[in-house]
Each structure stands twice: as structure tokens, then as C-alpha cells.
Chains A and B, each alone.
Chain A
Amino acid sequence: MSGDLNALRPVVRALAREGGLRLHAGMGLAVVTALAGLGLLALSGWFITATALAGLTAAAALAFDVFVPGAGVRGFALLRTAARYGERVTTHDATLKALAAFRERLFRGWARPQAARTLLARPARLLFRLTSDVDALDALYLRGIIPLVACAATAAVAAILLSFLDFRLGLAAGGALLVGGLGVAVLAARAARRPTRRRAYAGEALRARVVDMVRGQTELVMAGRLAPQTDAVMAADARQAQADDALNRIEVRAGAALTLLTGALLAGVLAAAAHLAEGGTIGAPIAAMALLAVFAAVEPFGALRRGALEIGRAALAAKRLAPRLSDTDSSAEDAPVAPSPEPGVALRLAEAAARHAGDRGFALAPVTLTLRAGERVAIVGPSGAGKSTLMALMAGEIAPAAGSVTAAPAAWLSQRTTLFRDSLRDNLRLAAPDADDARLRDALSGAGLGAFAGRLDAPLGEGGMGLSGGQSRRLALARLLLSDAPLWLLDEPTDGLDGPTARDVLRRLVAKTRGRTLVVATHLRREADVCDRVIVLEGGRVVADLARGAPDFRSALDRLRPD
């Protein structure tokens, strides 16, 4: 429980920063709503009882002022309705505002180079978890803080009200409300903690197993394991059902406890009021008022009980998101690539090595390498030799596990091709926000996608225009061609193109590269051909570094795949 509270603290702080006044206004309105409800019931109870007593004699009946309490009842009814509406609008607006800010903050947090790399290496499951975590945070304010404040306020007001009758009664009733009502919520939150987590993990397992079942269907059925996989999916469901059942049991028990508490409180206040009335301290109208005030004061605790069950999930989300929500950013993490190297040099690696997260050994053994500005360098080697890792190191996407990297600002065409759900134009303009359509069309034809020059408005990505794998890569290349970075890093830029198109793309690429440094990781001869230096990788280490004209240069090229 205290661990949960600690986890929630940074999120609460971030919430306060983003929500500001609205959050307080929402809490204020929640208090007004709860108190108006209390006033409405208490006043009605007093009114009915008082009229009944006054009605016993004609004179008293005539003298009885019905208008002030009548107006009070109507006033509380209207106030309650209006305040509840205002509370709902304000709290939801404040929450959505804070979540919007969280999303931006998260994006910025993950956009730091080291973090970005970590994120990409994560399975889709964890990526998906991110967004569901943000969604889960809304419970913290809407269903946690708001009812808590409302409960505290009504309990306090009910206690004060009853203290006017007898301070012991006020203390006892207020204490019972707080201890009983809050106790139920705290116990429920604590009991719900583990099932909430189990439920979240079971949901993730279910998701991953469905993905494995659908995407790996052929492998599974060939191994005779398709039926066990459907069983595994249902096993995850069964685990989730168990957690769901535990949570439901907690919720139902908490509700029953509150119902019992209400009955006991009413009985206690009834007995106490009768005792006080007998002693002449109060009359029946005040007794009725006290009873109904207590009855109304229990109501907000129902909402708190429901919120208590969701706090565990929010705390889990907060724990996972907190590092990216915090304001403090470590600048060391921000820039694994030190500022540009000396003039005339585009990139310098000094005993730089790379390691994948979770791996035991180096993915790339220490490398020392200098690239002069304007050089065109090919990186070759069998797949798995570390070409992509070396590129990532050069691009500053991973921090060196040892040694240092200094590089000019780089644009990187990685093996992963990313198209965003956006128009073709906006997909391209990512690299050059100010580029006009003419420049975009030029980049498209430069990447061998001239056919798309007239379709800049077409939507891309999931549900958009279907592009083949090759076309997507060329689009990413077109995006790179728009970049004005002095260092271009390309991972197999013409993979999947037929010979003549590839040659045309390479010719235009070289033309655009003038004045820039070009690094191409490749297994295609035609791509290495445009370079004047070849670096050969094998098993994660550099085994040769050959300039054009060196004796082994040609044979290194000959080992590459022809068209």
C-alpha cells in the first residue's frame, strides 16, 4: 500500500502541474455536490417532521413558515444537480488535459536516443502496455482523489452537525464514518493490489498468445501444437477470470460492508437521538435531520469503494511511467554522441563497442574508425555480423558500451521501414517540414517513386494506401533525401529493387550526396560499387578496412551478391 502511494507521488505531482486550478475547482465542486445532497436530505427530514408536529394544532400550523425550508429543499436540489454537472465536466476536462500533457511528455521522454533504442527493442507487448498505462492513470483523480475529498468533507460536516446535538454523538458518528468508510476503501485497495496486477499480466499474456497463435499458426499446426496454443490462450483467460473473480469478490464484500455500516450507523444515531430527545435536548425534527444527514453522508463512500479497486492498476501504471514523466532529464542519457568532431571529419569511433540490452557479450567488438567528410563508405559482411549495430552506433541510436563516438548530425535509413498513418506529404515532410511539393516530388523520383508524385494527399499506413515492402523502403529513402544532415547512413537502400531501377536510384543518390558523407551497409554489390572505401565486418568485429585501389578491394566487392 505505501509502495503504491510512493509510486503515485510523481504522477500526482505531474497531475498537479498540468491540471492546476481545474483540479481544485473539481474537488470543490465535488464537495459542494456531496454537501448539497446531505443538506437536501437533512432539511427534508426536518421539514416533514416539523410540519407533522406543527400540524397537530391549528395555530401552530398557521404560524409555521413553510416557505423558507421549502425554498431550501428546492435550492439544495438545484444546487446538487448543478454542482454535479459542473463537477463532472470540470474533473473530466482536467483529467483529459493532464493525460494529453502526459502523452506529450511520454513521447518526449521516449524520444531520447537511448530510450528510443530501448523502446524499439521491446516486444510489441510492452509498447502496447504504455498506452494502456496512460489510460489507467485517469482513475487516480476521477475515481481516487475526487471521492476521497468528497467523503472527507461529508464525514466532517455530518460530524459537526451532530456535534451541535451532542459532541460525543458527533465524534462517534464522524469517527465511524471515517474509520468504517475509509477502512473499507483501504482494505479493498490493499486486497485488490495483487489480483489487479495478476489481471493486467494475464491480459498481456492473453494478447501475446493470441498474436502467436494467429501469426505462428503454420508453425504451430505443423508441430501439432495449435490445439495446445488455443489452450494456452484460454489458460491466460482462466488466470484473468480468477483475478476478475477475486476483484469482484472484494468489490461485493466492500459494498456489503458499507450497507451494514449504514444500517448500524442509522440504528446508533436513532437510539442516541431518542435518548437526547428523552432528555429534552432535541426535538423530533432535529432527530430526523440527524438521521437523514448520516444517511446522506454514507453515499460518497460508495464511489470511493469503487475507486479503491482501480487505484492498484493506476499505481502499477504510475510505477512504470514515472521515469518518463519526471521533469529531470539526464543530459548524459540525452546525448550518447558527443558534439561534432573536428572539421573535415564526419565521424570518429574510438574503441567503441556495442552491447544489446540483456546480452552477455558484445554485439560489436571495440572499433576504431575515422570517416573523413565527403567519404563514401560501404559496410559489408554476412547477416548478423553487426552491420546494423555499427550503423546504430554511428547514428547515435545506441550508446557505446565502451569507447566513444563523435559524429556529425546524421540521417539514418534503417532496415525497419516506418510509415506513419498520415498523408504521403506529411510522411515526407517529417524530414523537412518546410519543403514545398516540388521538392517532395523531386525526392520521390530520386527514390524511384516518381509514380507517386501526383498522390501527395493519399493516406498511408494502416488502413491507407497499400504500399509494397519495396515501395515503403523507397519512400523512407525519399524521406532521407529531403534531410539536410551532413552524414547519411543507409542500410541496404536499394534492397528489393530490380537492377535498372536500383542503378537509377543509386545514381541520383550519389548526385545528391555531394558534399555529404555517405555510409551504406549492404550485401549488394551495386550498392558497394558507388563507395570508395569498404569496411568488412565478421562476427561482430572489423576484419578489413579497404580503400578503392587496395588489392583486396575488388575481391571484397566480388563476394557480394550480384543483382
Chain B
Amino acid sequence: MTHTPPTTDASPEPGRSRPRASLALWLQAAAALMWLPQAAALALGVGRIAEGGGATAMLAPAAALIGFGALRAGLDAAGQRLAFRDARAELSRLRFNATRALAARSPLDAGRAPSGLAASVLAEQAEAVTAYVARFQPARFKATAVPLVILACVAPLSWLAALILMAAAPLIPLFMALVGWRAKAASERQFVAMGEMNGFLLDRLRGLDAIRSAGAVEATAQRVRAEADGLRRRAMAVLRIAFLSSAVLELFSALGVALVAVYVGFNLLGQIPFGAWGGRLSLPEGLFVLLLAPAFFEPLRELSAAWHDRASGQAALEALERLAAPGRMALPGAVDEPAFAPPFGPAPVVRLKGLRFAHDGAERPALDGFSLVVAPGERVAVLGPSGTGKSTLLALIAGLAPAAGGRILIGGAEMTPDTAAALRARMVWIGQTPHVFSGSLSRNVRLGRPDIGRVQAERALRATALGPLLDRRGDAAVGENGLGLSGGETLRLALARLAVAPGATLVLADEPTAHLDRETARQIMDALIALSAGRTLIVATHDPELAARMDRIVRFDDARLEDAA
């Protein structure tokens, strides 16, 4: 199957050593340095014009301008592409790790990220990683390497010009620190403020019915405006500082350039006859020095622009790594391929021996030495008030969390992390609020199982009295939250998932009638009983009517004592 990380990078920690990435850095720095020969060509060209050279004398400089321009374009493109590909692969790798880690955490793990958080980190926040990895590191490398090379080119012509640039250079890290710190704070705060504003608007849009029925549309619209204006004011306060600090950076680089220009001008006029090794600069030399001065500061400006990427990129990296951390409780066999289950195997016997389980941080164990035997084809109700651990029991039988002690045997096979996936292939789970996936009704029944076709799915839908709904909805999507489906319809959908899996011989139903009216609850009971014919059925419930229709009732408190007795 395709469960391999999508990166071809084989190093165990690709974040550390990436040869492609360092090649990308060198390529981009080399591209920036192509300005040196271009500037030299321009300076020589103007020098020749001053000497009276005509268009023909321009052939070599013009060719150099074009040639080195092409070289620069090629090097830069190659460097940027390499850096991007590497960064994008890194994003995929991080997403893969986080997705896998999320899938591998037990649904009973209380520390598991809620779906909203997981989605916003994986889908939106994660995107900042690419820009950070692809842009910030090359910018930082260029900011250290390129100014040094330029300095090395200026110094042989004029030590004073080099000195001026060097004198401006120590100021730069100072301002960079200032800019960086401000920009980081700015982008972080703006990110938070933006998120809050969007959260506020979403919150109000989701609650539009409440707002409308309370007649509060006008008041809320004004609050939306007030909040958005507040966001603008807060954002502008921090942006102003960020812009001001980069203006200071720009001012210093402009002053550095102006100083160099003035010095070169006076030197050329002979009014400052020192500073160059031979006493006076020539016109091409002076022009060359002048053209290099802005290029000296350019990488620093680029770096300050990339600082925004850094703050959000690092925040995204941290969020992704938090998601990818292993949970406190694993879901046994989470992503194993289920072994092939015999299509019509006999209903299994279920033996539970001395089961123990405690929720994370709970004072009392939810199960402490629980034992039970359910005969093949038997229908058993586990009856007890809510919050006593009935659902936990079913989850353990389904292998959704590892038991802290005791054994679970299903049809003679022991539930272990290795067998969990294969054993689950013979089970069907009916939860109290089944999840409705985004997609059509029939997709919701098939869940992408290759052995279940559309016709089978639709037959199952009709068998569970969802025919009229299917006729109305057709292939229209049922929403992400199952909007548009009533509680009863959602449960029928879960029953259709049962109807479509004839190979599943153990049915686990967790409070299937908890949120239904009596009429619907009865219909669901009838369907559940009809569909579980020939299968072993364990129902956790606090509904006495449902329990009474099973072959046997295990009172949960009695069962706890069973082992002691």
C-alpha cells in the first residue's frame, strides 16, 4: 500500500541535514553575486562612453550584461526551485507524521487533539512551513555571505569606501535585532488577532439563527464592525512599529549609499584624494563602487522581510510537532491492514477475563477485574446508569484502547495490538452519535471499502428505512456535521453500515437509543435486532426497554462483582 512517507529523503531526520537545501543556498548566493560582473560591465561601459567610445565599443559590456543576467536568472531559478521543493517535501513529511500520530491515538485518549484544532493546524497553519524553510534560510545565508564578498571586491579599489560600508555593517545587526524582534511580535500578534476576528465572525455566523430569533441582527452587525475596527487598530499599532523599524533600516542603508556616493564624488573631483590605494579612483572604478553599495545592503533588507515568515513558520513547526507527539494511549493496530475476514464465519463467543482499565487521571478505575462470557449468537445488554464505564467496556472489546489488565478473547483469538485489526474486521460498531462523513449517503455507508458497491450500499440504506431520504437526497452531500440528518437518521445510517457487512459477526452498540424519541427508538431496536440475527450482539444501554429485548441483561454493578464472587 501507500503508507510510506511521501518524501524520498531517507535520512532519519531530514530537518537537520539536507544536501539539496545547502546547494540551494549556494546557488541563490551565487545568483546575487552575478550583480558584480553586471555592475562592472555597466561601469566599464559608461567609462568607455566618457572616453568617446561608440556603440561598437559597447559590444562586450552589453554582452556581459545580458550573459551574466541570464546566468543570474538561471542560478536564482535553480536555487529557488531546489529550496522550494525541499521545503514543500518537509511540509508533507511533517503533515504525514502528524496525521499518522493522530490516527494512532486511542479515541479514549483525553489528550487527543479535537478535530477543529487538528484541522486548523494541519490545513492552514502548516502552510507557513514552506515559506519559512524555503525563504528564511537562503535569506539568512545571503545576508552573511553576499556583503562579505562585496566588501572584498570594494576594498581593493577603495579602502575608505569599504570602511564606510563596514562601519554601517555593525549597525545592521543591531537594527536587524530590533526589526526582527518587532516583526516577530507584530506578526504573532497579528496572527492571533486575525484568528480571533475570524473566530468571532464564524461564531456569529454559526449562531445566526439565535441572533435572528433574538432580533439582534443590527446590534451584532455593529459589534462585528467594532471588532473588525478593533482588529485594524491593534494591527496598525504593531504594523506601524514594524514599518518604522524597517524604515530605519532603509534609512541607514540609504545613508550608507549616500556617504559612499559623496565620498566617491569628492574623490573623483580630487577634493578627497585619499581612500583609494592609488590616490584617485577612475570613473569606472567609482561607478562600480557606487553600484555595489546598494547591493551590499540588499540581502539585509531581504532578510528583514523574511523575518515574518520565520515567526509564523516556527509557530507552525511547533504546532505540527505537538500533533505528531505520541499520545498517552495508543489505538492498537490503528493503521494495520485488516486481515481477510471469512465472509460468513460463525458468530463468535466473547470471553472477558479480569478486565481492568482506568481513564487518564481518573481516581477510580472504570473497570476493575470485569469478567463476562457471551455465547455465540447471544444478545446481551450491559445495563447501568451513564458514566459507569459501559462504553469503555465496549471500546475495549473493539480494541479501541489497550486494557490495563485481563484478557479479551473473541472466537478464541486474543485481542492484542497485533490481532486488533483482524479481529475488528469481524465487528461492527454502532455509536450513540455516529459520525456522518462529508459525502453522499451511499459513500457514508461504503466508507471507501472496495468490496462494497454502490448497489449494496443503497440496498442497505433502504433496508434501514432510509429509502425516502435517499430518494430525496440522491447524491447530494450530507454535511460535515451531519447537518440535515436527524438523530434517528444518523443511527439508521450506522445500522446501514451494519447491514452492508455480512462478514461482521460481532455487533457492538453503544447507547444506540440514547437521543431518540420513543417511536424512533423502537424502530431502531427492531432494526438492530433484525440485523443482528445470527450474530453476537452486545449493547451498552441505560434504556430498560432496549435491555428487556435482549436475551440476557448484565447489570453493570453486578458484573463488577462477578469476578469477586
Contacts and interface: CB of A to CB of B under 8 A. Distances in A.
B54 A418 contact: no
A210 B96 CA distance: 11
A207 interface: yes
Interface in B511-528: 516-520, 523
Nearest to B70: A260
A268 B63 CA distance: 10
A359 B88 contact: no
Interface string A207-228: 1101111111111111111111
Given A61-B270, A207-B119, A433-B216, A213 B447 contact: no
Chain A interface main SS type: helix
B65 A421 contact: no
B209 A92 contact: no
A179 interface: no
B224 interface: yes
Contacts of B264: 48, 51
B9 interface: no
B211 A430 contact: yes
Interface residues of A, number: 159
A238 B92 contact: yes
Interface stretch (B375-383, B486-494, B532-540): B486-494
A420 B208 CA distance: 10
A234 B271 CA distance: 68
A445 interface: no
Contacts of B438: 123, 125, 208, 211-212
Given A52-B268, A284-B46, A270 B58 contact: yes
Contact of A66 (B240, B269, B480): B269
Given A248-B81, A278-B55, A433-B216, A363 B472 contact: yes
Interface size, B (range): 35 or more
A244 B50 contact: no
Contacts of B336: 227
A108 B520 contact: no
Contacts of B204: 107, 420
Contact of A270 (B42, B115, B119): B42
Nearest to A206: B123
Contacts of B266: 51, 66
B518 A561 contact: yes
Contacts, number: 486
Contacts of A215: 115, 435
Contact of A48 (B219, B229, B268, B474): B268
B115 A210 contact: yes
Given A77-B254, A430-B214, A208 B337 contact: no
B103 A217 contact: yes
A305 B20 CA distance: 26
B238 to A, nearest CB: 11
Interface string A89-126: 10011001101110110111011010010011111110
Nearest to B96: A234
Interface string A404-423: 00000111111010111100
A363 to B, nearest CB: 7
A214 B119 CA distance: 9
A279 to B, nearest CB: 9
Interface string B118-135: 111011100100100000
A284 B254 contact: no
B286 A256 contact: no
A123 B435 contact: no
Interface stretch (A79-87, A166-174, A448-456): A79-87
Interface stretch (B243-251, B312-320, B456-464, B555-563): B243-251
A323 interface: no
A400 B552 CA distance: 50
Interface stretch (A7-15, A127-135, A146-154, A367-375): A127-135
Interface string B469-507: 101111011011101101111000010010001000000
A147 B214 CA distance: 46
Chain B interface main SS type: helix
A125 to B, nearest CB: 6
A281 to B, nearest CB: 12
B50 A52 contact: yes
A384 interface: yes
A263 B206 CA distance: 55
Interface in A359-415: 359-361, 363, 382-384, 388, 395, 397, 409-414
Given A210-B122, A263-B68, A274-B57, A287 B49 contact: yes
A539 B468 contact: yes
B55 to A, nearest CB: 4
A278 B247 CA distance: 42
A160 interface: no
A326 B205 CA distance: 18
B461 to A, nearest CB: 14
A230 interface: yes
A267 interface: yes
Given A216-B437, A227-B336, A234-B95, A111 B221 contact: yes
Interface stretch (B152-160, B406-414, B423-431): B423-431
B76 A256 contact: yes
A219 B2 contact: no
Contacts of A313: none
Given A262-B69, A267-B62, A271-B58, A430 B486 contact: no
Nearest to A289: B46
B375 to A, nearest CB: 22
A215 B117 CA distance: 12
A266 B231 CA distance: 45
B544 interface: no
Interface string B177-207: 0000000000000000010011111111111
Contact of B489 (A103, A108, A384): A384
B398 A222 contact: yes
Contacts of A356: 472, 484
B102 interface: yes
A38 B272 CA distance: 28
Q: Which of B63, B483, B487 has the most CB of A within 10 A?
A: B483
Nearest to A523: B517
Interface stretch (B165-173, B255-263, B350-358, B359-367): B255-263
B73 to A, nearest CB: 4
Nearest to A251: B80
Given A238-B6, A273-B49, A420-B207, A230 B271 contact: no
Contacts of B232: 93, 96-97, 99-100
Nearest to B200: A421
B283 A53 contact: yes
A203 B123 contact: yes
Nearest to B438: A208
A84 B497 contact: no
A49 interface: yes
A301 interface: no
Contacts of A494: none
A358 interface: yes
B204 to A, nearest CB: 7
B206 A523 contact: no
A514 interface: no
Contact of B474 (A100, A208, A360, A384): A360
9 contacts: A54-B268, A55-B269, A97-B229, A104-B221, A127-B202, A211-B116, A220-B447, A383-B487, A420-B204
What 10 pairs across the A-B complex have the smallest Cβ distances? A263-B69, A523-B517, A100-B228, A418-B207, A224-B338, A216-B435, A284-B50, A52-B283, A267-B62, A278-B54
Given A131-B198, A360-B472, 11 more contacts: A48-B290, A80-B254, A203-B127, A230-B99, A255-B76, A274-B45, A287-B46, A382-B519, A388-B486, A523-B518, A561-B517
